[in-house]
């Protein structure tokens, strides 16, 4: 198990992993349909998307957290 200090990195990793996987599959299917080699195409698209998504989530998530706080009503 990981130390709690790594929670933001693990959260970003899994968010990028799952979102890039799902979105690359959906976008690939929309753009090319489902040919015989769809899984190979999807895997390539997913890997490329993940390499971009993980650093992007690491950079953007603190900004999103701060922006979200501004939309929450204080009790």
pLDDT at position 36, please?
97
pTM, rounded to two decimals: 0.82
The predicted structure's pLDDT at residue 75: 80
Please give the residue range of the domain that contains residue 52.
7-15+25-61
20 lies in some domain: no
Q: How many helices (H) and strands (E) does the chain have?
A: 2, 0
Residue 74 pLDDT more than 90? no
Question: Does a structural domain hold residue 49?
Answer: yes
Give the pLDDT confidence of 27-71 residue by residue, as tens digits: 999 999 999 999 999 999 999 999 999 999 999 999 999 999 999
CA–CA separation, 36 and 72 (whole Å): 47
Give the closest residue to 17 by CA, choosing from 45, 65, 50, 44: 50
- In a domain, residue 74? The reply is no
For 7-33, the pLDDT digits (tens) are 999 999 999 999 999 999 999 999 999
Q: How many domains does the chain have?
A: 1
């Amino acid at each position: 198990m990981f130390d709690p200090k790594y929670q933001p990195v693990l959260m970003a990793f899994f968010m990028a992993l799952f979102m890039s996987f799902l979105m690359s599959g959906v976008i690939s299917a929309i753009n090319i349909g489902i040919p015989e080699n769809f899984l190979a195409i999807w895997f390539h698209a997913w890997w490329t998307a993940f390499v971009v998504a993980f650093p992007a989530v690491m950079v953007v998530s603190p900004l999103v957290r701060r922006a979200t706080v501004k939309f929450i009503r204080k009790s």
